[in-house]
Amino acid sequence: MTEQTGQQTQPEEFETILAQVGDGVGTITINRPDKRNALSKTVLAEISRILDVWEENEAVRAVIFTGAGEKAFVAGADISQLANYDLTYGLAAHMQRLYDRIQDYPKPTLAALNGVAMGGGLELAMSCDIRIAAENAKMGLPETTLGVLPGAGGTQRLSRLVGTGRAVEMILTSRILIAEQAERYGLVTAVVPGAELMATAAETIAAILTKGPLAIRLAKLVIAQGAETDQKTGLLLERLAQTLLYTTEDKAEGADAFLGKRTPEFRGR
């Protein structure tokens, strides 16, 4: 994969995504606008492949997901493939496992919802650390309309983000939210004009990348794991993570830079 600092480059081997790197950020664009960026097996495989590459690439410090065009982030799974799904495919849980990996990815992730985010598309966004939506975005989990349920983390992540009552109502009725409703529910953190979406996403990631990388990684881990346990255990995880950070060069640099009124130069050590 070619790479140029400050510019964006695209690996030629991908068929359904654009994978670009610039200014420390890897951007994955689902590139099937004629299918409203629907998720196929190929899309999932290519996302997984580029995440493998970027996890080992120190030049990529964060990842943004978005969709091609102005109408759809990801409209959901490719329904033309749904008819072929069976018991074996369901148990394999390819999409669910990929989204679990994105949630646990060691680098910050952000979903820039440039349009419709339905089913597996919203589940992809929910697996990211942060979600920002364009004003025209709409989102929901309409799987029950097809006689199935949100099976890529939707039944679990939605309730953790918006509360059980709202999650049950949304999933059982296949309710679709407009961007402002999603922000009010806490499903997205900000709504901006479509023309400003990617700039806002870049600004948000840029702010994160000025912070201590080890602190960011451990904060992600403690927040995620703490949400799955009782508060006492979560506080223990927090205390242990903080104790570990006290031993790092980043902590020393952060304190020294603050006292010296200069910008810290973190190295992730």
Catalytic residues: 123, 143
Among all chains, which residue has been given the structure tokens 């978005």?
Answer: 66
Instruction: Look at residues 219, 223, 213, 230 and name the one whose alpha carbon lies nearest to residue 58.
Output: 213
